C-alpha cells in the first residue's frame, strides 16, 4: 500500500515569459510559449515521488492528446497509472502561466476534467486511502470531494494535509479534521475571513484555534512558519538566485509530506521542504524544476 495518497489536478501548462506581469487593461509582449506538465496535484505527486515517497496519485484527465501526454509523463516519473482516470466528455486541464523577469508568476487555470472528479470516481480507491499514512489534497478539484475525503480520512485515522489553493473559505467542520494545512500568506488571510489579523502569526494562530492541528504558512523568501499546540516555529528560507517560482509551493508540499511519512518532526520536515523548494526556484518550469532526493543536501 502507498504511504502517501495524493488526489488533485493534472494540467498541461502553457508558459510565456514576460518583462512584467500585465496590469489590468495592459498588453505586454511575451516570448514564445512553452508546453510543460503541471497542475498542483501532479506537481506535488512528482515532487513526492522524486524525493523518495511511496505515492499513489489519483487524478482525472480528458481522453484527448493532452490527457495521453500527461498519462505518459506520470508513468515516466515512476508513478502508477492506477489512479489516472480518463473522461471522454471533458477536455484535459490546462493553465496559462506568465513568468516575469524576477521569476514571479501569474497563473490562469482552465480546470477541464479536474472539475469533474467525483466521489464515484474515487470510490474504488477508498481501501488504499484507508490504509495510507497521509492524504495530500489541494483545491483545484471540487471542494465537495475534498470535504468528503477529509471526513473519510479522519474517520479512518489517516492524516490529511491540505494545500488550500486556489484559496476559498472553508467551514470550521472541515478545518477541524485536518492534520495540517499549508497556505501561503495571502491564502492564510483569506481563510481567516473577516477575522483576519495584522500578522501572519496571528492568522496562523486563528486557523489553529479553529481546529487545524498544524498550520504551516509558506512565506516565499521569508521562509515558513509553523503554529501548533507546541507554539510557533519559524524556518528561514535559503538564499538562492530565483528564476521561476512556479511549483515552488507544490514542491514544498510534496517534500513536507515525504519527510513526515519518514517520521521527521514538523520543523525537520519544514527544513527538508525548504531545501527542495529552494532548488526548484533556481530552475524554469513546474515539474521540470522539481529536484530529486540525491540533490537535497
Interatomic CA distance for residues 142 and 138, integer angstroms: 9
| Distance separating alpha carbons of residues 105 and 122, to the nearest angstrom | 32
DSSP type of residue 184? B
Q: Which of 87, 100, 121, 250 is catalytic?
A: 250
Residue in 77, 78, 47 with CA at minimum distance from that of residue 272: 47
Rounded-to-integer distance, Cα 145 and Cα 219, Å: 28
Model-wide pTM > 0.85: yes
- How far apart CA 233 and CA 239 sit, in angstroms, is 19
Question: Which whole number is the average pLDDT over 12-35?
Answer: 92
Contact 38, 13 (CB under 8 A): yes
Is 100 among the residues known to form the active site? no
Domain boundaries, the chain: 4-8+40-89+117-290
Class of domain 4-8+40-89+117-290: alpha beta
Handedness of CA 204, 205, 210, 215 (dihedral sign): positive
Tens digit of each residue's pLDDT (9 = 90 or more) over 103-119? 888 888 899 999 999 99
List, for residues 224-239, the tens digit of each pLDDT value: 999 999 999 999 999 9
At residue 244 the predicted structure's pLDDT band, cuts being 50, 70 and 90, is confident
Predicted confidence at residue 76, as pLDDT, reads 96
pLDDT reported for residue 293: 97
- Structure confidence at residue 297 (pLDDT): 78
pLDDT digits (tens, 9 = 90+) for 130-160: 999 999 999 999 999 999 999 999 999 999 9
Q: Give the residue from 153, 280, 269, 158 showing the smallest Cα distance to 216.
A: 269
Residue 1 has pLDDT above 60, yes or no: no
Amino acid at each position: 500500500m502507498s504511504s502517501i495518497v495524493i488526489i488533485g489536478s493534472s494540467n498541461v501548462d502553457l508558459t510565456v515569459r514576460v518583462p512584467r506581469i500585465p496590469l489590468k487593461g495592459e498588453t505586454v509582449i511575451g516570448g514564445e510559449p512553452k508546453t510543460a506538465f503541471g497542475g498542483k496535484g501532479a506537481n506535488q505527486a512528482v515532487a513526492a515521488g522524486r524525493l523518495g515517497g511511496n505515492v499513489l496519485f489519483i487524478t482525472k484527465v480528458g481522453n484527448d492528446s493532452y490527457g495521453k501526454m500527461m498519462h505518459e509523463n506520470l508513468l515516466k516519473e515512476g508513478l502508477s497509472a492506477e489512479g489516472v482516470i480518463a473522461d471522454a466528455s471533458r477536455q484535459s486541464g490546462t493553465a496559462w502561466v506568465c513568468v516575469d523577469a524576477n521569476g514571479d508568476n501569474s497563473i490562469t487555470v482552465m480546470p477541464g476534467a479536474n472539475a469533474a472528479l467525483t466521489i464515484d470516481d474515487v470510490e474504488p480507491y477508498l481501501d488504499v486511502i484507508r490504509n495510507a499514512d497521509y492524504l495530500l489534497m489541494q483545491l483545484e478539484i471540487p471542494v465537495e470531494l475534498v470535504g468528503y475525503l477529509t471526513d473519510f480520512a479522519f474517520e479512518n485515522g489517516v492524516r490529511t494535509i491540505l494545500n488550500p489553493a486556489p484559496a476559498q473559505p472553508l467551514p470550521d467542520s472541515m478545518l477541524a479534521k485536518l492534520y495540517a494545512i499549508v497556505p501561503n500568506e495571502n491564502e492564510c488571510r483569506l481563510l481567516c475571513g473577516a477575522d483576519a489579523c495584522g500578522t501572519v502569526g496571528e492568522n496562523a494562530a486563528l486557523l489553529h484555534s479553529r481546529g487545524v492541528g498544524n498550520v504551516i504558512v509558506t512565506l516565499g523568501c521569508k521562509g515558513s512558519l509553523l503554529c501548533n499546540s507546541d507554539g510557533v516555529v519559524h524556518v528561514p528560507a535559503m538564499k538562492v538566485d530565483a528564476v521561476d517560482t512556479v511549483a515552488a509551493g507544490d514542491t514544498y508540499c510534496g517534500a513536507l509530506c515525504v519527510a513526515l511519512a519518514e517520521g521527521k518532526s514538523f520543523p525537520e520536515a519544514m527544513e527538508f521542504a525548504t531545501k527542495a523548494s529552494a532548488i526548484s526556484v533556481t530552475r524554469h518550469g513546474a515539474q521540470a524544476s522539481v529536484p530529486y532526493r540525491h540533490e537535497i543536501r
